[in-house]
Amino acid sequence: MPDPAIELIDIDKSFGVVRANKRINLAVERGTIHGIIGENGAGKSTLMSIIYGFYQADSGTIKVGGKTVDISDPNAAIAAGIGMVHQHFMLVENFTVVENVMLGAEQSPLLFSGIARVRAELKRLERDHSLDVDPDAIVEELPVGRQQRVEILKALYRGADILILDEPTGVLTPAEADHLFAVLRQLRDEGKTIILITHKLREIMAITDNVSVMRQGEMVATRRTADTDVAELAELMVGRRVLLTVDKAPAAPRDVKLSVTGLTVRDRRGVVMVEDVSFDVKAGEIVGIAGVAGNGQSELLEALAGIRRAESGRIAMLGRDIDPSQEVDPAEIRRMGCAHVPEDRHHMGLVLPFEENENAILGYQGDPRFAKGPLLDRDAMRRDAEAKIKAYDIRPPDCRLKTSNFSGGNQQKIVLAREMERDPDVLLIGQPTRGVDVGAIEFIHRRIIEMRDAGKAILLVSVELDEIRALSDRILVMFAGRIVGERSPDAGEGELGLLMAGIEGQEAAE
Ligand SMILES: Nc1ncnc2c1ncn2[C@@H]1O[C@H](COP(=O)(O)OP(=O)(O)OP(=O)(O)O)[C@@H](O)[C@H]1O
């Protein structure tokens, strides 16, 4: 390669018995966007953490601009011109944008020349890179797309020439993702080098110049994006052909298992998040809720699961009437036969310092299968966890490992296995495949269809329109807290997109 911006030579890294990176070699050409893909647990985040100095490689060499560098911590990475935009933003939420940009940039001589100059520099960076954000806004009040811009600005402010983005579109709306891509292309055209980790192969095809594939800790292939396609990449990732479409028979809906009438939910500040929502879900059908993130889907799901109090409305679930404006015990909802895969696995689905086998029964500790007198039957828990690890191909297959030590996609599989394998009659499922690889998506989709065919009533919330269209038997579109339309899964992407943007919906609702 004529001019690699960064080169990794024989990088090796183990965590105990897990060899996360095995003699990795990679050269990233300057002024290109280079995608890194791979199954959950393939070692992508570990490799990026080594480049950014969070982890130290056990052996190997990193060269930046042809020179060997010792990246002992993130400050050394920054000094070498490497910037990172994290999956879970590393911003201080109650600080302003300027304060966040200044924070941690102690090495920057600009810091000593006052906040006014920092603000001016920030303004210039924003203008030059179409990264519009108010420097004085408090970070937690910004939508996620803008918070991400702050992360990018922070890296640019510190002089990053090489920018690493880990799953940057996972939390973005489609419009925000398009904007991000425009920014990345512009940065590339200015000569910056971008390394992008994503599970979305369509994004790889749309935006990268080259793509490298990792499998089980190894770098197995690098391709020019123009010379490959989604099917080849999927196969390189998982080592077998992957079905990229979902095969399903027509639904055979039976009696209503979940009926929601006039549900209204406000958030802590009193803002209406769900407004007068009514719908039914029958046994043997999947009802998908489509919508841009932040239009009330999360609050709807939480109210149904009993973890958020509603203002008014009625819920009839599995023959029982629930008044959601009263305190509802989520454990009671679970006991009735309703399982819930929460959208935000870090905050609601898992206790990260717990062992895998403990999270595998979280919320179901009272189950007699796991009781030994007044105590927990640890052997039964481990046997149960091992069976789920096998069925969901959770890696590494170690139920004693702390949950925080699993990769993001494998953490998602731990939650899915726990909730789906309870054999619930009603399944509330939020963003089931966020952060999971194509092989696992194929498996999870198949499992959801099997559950439908076994007569379960399934409510699916996903911001991935492709996923909603592939799985749902009926699609409800939510906009600004209201259901603005019902469509069949055959409805075109354009038609659904307009509804999701509230354009047709407003007329329909009037
Ligand atoms: N701090 C740690 N301690 C122990 N094991 C770890 C640690 N960090 C990562 N691992 C293990 O290293 C392997 C690689 O994980 P990594 O997070 O790099 O995967 P990934 O390719 O980024 O996966 P995903 O797509 O799911 O995010 C996994 O088996 C993971 O469990």
Which atom of ligand 1 is least distant from the CA of 406?
Answer: 31
* Same domain assignment for residues 490 and 430: yes
* Same domain assignment for residues 248 and 226: no
Q: What is the spatial distance between Cα 472 and Cα 451, in angstroms, rounded to a whole number?
A: 13
In this structure, is residue 345 part of a structural domain? no
CA-derived radius of gyration, the chain: 24
Q: What is the spatial distance between Cα 220 and Cα 324, in angstroms, rounded to a whole number?
A: 52
Determine contact, residues 170/87, Cβ cutoff 8 Å: yes
Question: Percentage of the chain with pLDDT > 70?
Answer: 95
* Same domain assignment for residues 371 and 489: no
What is the rounded average pLDDT of the residues 140-148? 82
In this structure, is residue 34 part of a structural domain? yes
In this structure, is residue 453 part of a structural domain? yes
Q: Which of 11, 18, 213 to mutate to test the pocket of ligand 1 (most atoms within 8 A of CB)?
A: 18
Distance 347 CA to ligand 1 centre (A): 19
Looking at every residue in the chain, the average pLDDT score rounds to: 89
Q: Which of 40, 438, 35 is nearest to 212 (CA)?
A: 35
Cis geometry, peptide bond prior to residue 135 (ω within 30 degrees of 0): no
In this structure, is residue 254 part of a structural domain? yes
What is the rounded average pLDDT of the residues 108-125? 71
Distance 107 CA to ligand 1 centre (A): 31
23-62 per-position pLDDT tens digit: 999 999 999 999 999 988 899 999 999 999 999 999 999 9
* Same domain assignment for residues 359 and 445: no
* Same domain assignment for residues 331 and 456: yes
Distance 446 CA to ligand 1 centre (A): 25
Q: What is the spatial distance between Cα 456 and Cα 442, in angstroms, rounded to a whole number?
A: 19
Q: How confident is the model at residue 504 (pLDDT cuts 50, 70, 90)?
A: low
Distance 288 CA to ligand 1 centre (A): 31
* Same domain assignment for residues 384 and 466: no
Q: Kindly report the CA angle at 15 between 10 and 18, in degrees rounded to 5?
A: 85
- Is pLDDT of 108 > 80? no
Q: Which of 15, 87, 394 to mutate to test the pocket of ligand 1 (most atoms within 8 A of CB)?
A: 15
CA torsion 24-30-33-34 (nearest 10°) is -10
Determine contact, residues 258/428, Cβ cutoff 8 Å: no
In this structure, is residue 343 part of a structural domain? no
Write the residue with the smallest CA distance to atom 12 of ligand 1: 20
- Is pLDDT of 86 > 80? no
Does residue 396 sit in helix, strand or coil?
coil
Structure tokens at 319: 């023959």
Write the residue with the smallest CA distance to atom 7 of ligand 1: 405
Domain with 472 in it? 243-337+424-510
Q: Kindly report the CA angle at 284 between 279 and 285, in degrees rounded to 5?
A: 45
Distance 407 CA to ligand 1 centre (A): 4
Phi–psi pair at 109, nearest 5 degrees:
-65, -25
Which atom of ligand 1 is least distant from the CA of 55?
Answer: 1
Strands 67-69, 59-64: parallel, antiparallel or unpaired by DSSP?
antiparallel
Scored b (16 or more CB within 10 A) or e, 396-423 reads bebbebebebbbbbbbbbbbbbbbbbbe
Distance 409 CA to ligand 1 centre (A): 9
Q: How confident is the model at residue 509 (pLDDT cuts 50, 70, 90)?
A: very low
In SS3 terms, 411-473 reads as: HHHHHHHHHHCCCCCEEEEECCCCCCCHHHHHHHHHHHHHHHHCCCEEEEECCCHHHHHHHCC
Distance 410 CA to ligand 1 centre (A): 9
* Same domain assignment for residues 316 and 175: no
Distance 442 CA to ligand 1 centre (A): 21
- Is pLDDT of 79 > 70? yes
Q: What is the pLDDT of residue 508?
A: 44
> For position 272, which CATH number holds?
3.40.50.300
Domain end position, chosen among 238, 255, 273 = 238
What is the rounded average pLDDT of the residues 110-132? 76
Q: Which of 47, 405, 414 to mutate to test the pocket of ligand 1 (most atoms within 8 A of CB)?
A: 405
Write the residue with the smallest CA distance to atom 28 of ligand 1: 41
Q: What is the pLDDT of residue 183?
A: 92
255-290 per-position pLDDT tens digit: 999 999 999 999 888 889 999 999 999 999 999 999
- Is pLDDT of 106 > 60? no
Q: How confident is the model at residue 229 (pLDDT cuts 50, 70, 90)?
A: very high
Write the residue with the smallest CA distance to atom 1 of ligand 1: 405
* Same domain assignment for residues 28 and 16: yes
Distance 16 CA to ligand 1 centre (A): 12
Q: Which of 356, 407, 413, 436 to mutate to test the pocket of ligand 1 (most atoms within 8 A of CB)?
A: 407
What is the rounded average pLDDT of the residues 226-234? 94
Q: Which of 39, 46, 58, 199 to mutate to test the pocket of ligand 1 (most atoms within 8 A of CB)?
A: 46
Q: How confident is the model at residue 112 (pLDDT cuts 50, 70, 90)?
A: low
Distance 43 CA to ligand 1 centre (A): 6
| Number of domains the chain is built from | 3
In this structure, is residue 194 part of a structural domain? yes
Q: What is the spatial distance between Cα 184 and Cα 178, in angstroms, rounded to a whole number?
A: 10
Cβ count near 32 (within 10 Å): 19
Which atom of ligand 1 is least distant from the CA of 47?
Answer: 18
* Same domain assignment for residues 53 and 130: yes
* Same domain assignment for residues 416 and 428: no
Distance 460 CA to ligand 1 centre (A): 28
Residue length of the chain:
510
In this structure, is residue 406 part of a structural domain? yes
Structure tokens at 313: 């409305």
Structure ipTM: 0.97
Distance 46 CA to ligand 1 centre (A): 6
Cβ count near 310 (within 10 Å): 27
Which atom of ligand 1 is least distant from the CA of 48?
Answer: 18
Q: Element (H or E) spanning 35, and its range? A: strand 33-38
- Cα separations (Å) of 499 from 140, 173, 484, 508? 28, 15, 7, 9
**Lowest-pLDDT range of 14-18, 77-81, 118-122:** 118-122
- Residues touching ligand 1 (Cβ under 6 Å) are 15, 18, 20, 38, 40-46, 395-396, 405-410
Determine contact, residues 90/81, Cβ cutoff 8 Å: no
Distance 406 CA to ligand 1 centre (A): 5
Write the residue with the smallest CA distance to atom 16 of ligand 1: 43
- CB half-sphere exposure, 192, CA atoms < 13 A: 24
Domain end position, chosen among 238, 255, 288 = 238
* Same domain assignment for residues 272 and 179: no
DSSP string computed for 314-328: EEEETTEEE-TTS--
Domain end position, chosen among 422, 447, 480 = 422
Q: Which of 424, 345, 421 is nearest to 388 (CA)?
A: 421
* Same domain assignment for residues 97 and 228: yes
Determine contact, residues 199/438, Cβ cutoff 8 Å: yes
In this structure, is residue 342 part of a structural domain? no
Q: What is the spatial distance between Cα 158 and Cα 78, in angstroms, rounded to a whole number?
A: 7
Helix/strand/coil percentages in the chain, nearest 5: 35, 25, 35
